[in-house]
Structure 1
Amino acid sequence: MRADVNGLSWRKSPHSNGEGGECVEVSDDLPGLVPVRDTKLAGAGPVLVFPAAAWAPFIRAVKGRA
C-alpha cells in the first residue's frame, strides 16, 4: 500500500523506555491507514502502511486480548 508519509506527526508507545530500545512509531494523520516506522531509523528508513482495520486486531493480539 502506498501513501504520502512526508510531514506526518509520529508517536511512540507510552510504554517505551526512552533508552533507544526496540520501539516503533505510528502516525494518526492518515484516516483509515496506520503508517509505522522504526524509531531508530526515523526519517531514514522505510515506512510500512497498514489498513486501520488490520492494525486494530494486531494491537489486540499483542496486548493479549485477541
Structure 2
Amino acid sequence: MDYEHEPTRGPGAWIGAGLLVAVGGAALIVVSRVEPDSLLSAVIGWVLVGVGVMTAAVAVWWSARRRR
C-alpha cells in the first residue's frame, strides 16, 4: 500500500504541526531579542506563534468533537 499518499487520519498531526510552528515562532522571538534591529523577525515570530496556537486549538476542538 502506498502510505505516502494516504490522508492523515485524525487531528493528532495537526496538533503536533501547530505546536511545532508555535515553537519555531518563539525561537524567532528569542533571536529577535538577541539581534539588534530585527523587528521583522519579531513580527514574523509573533505571527507564527499565533498561527501555531490557533491551529493546535482548532485541532484539539476537532479531536474533542470527534469523540462525542
TM-score range, shorter-chain basis? Answer: under 0.3
Larger Cα Rg: Structure 1 or Structure 2?
2
Q: Is the strand fraction higher in 1 or 2? A: 1
Asked which structure has the greater RCO (Cα within 8 Å, sep 6+), the reply is 2
In the superposition, the TM-score normalised over structure 2's length comes to: 0.22
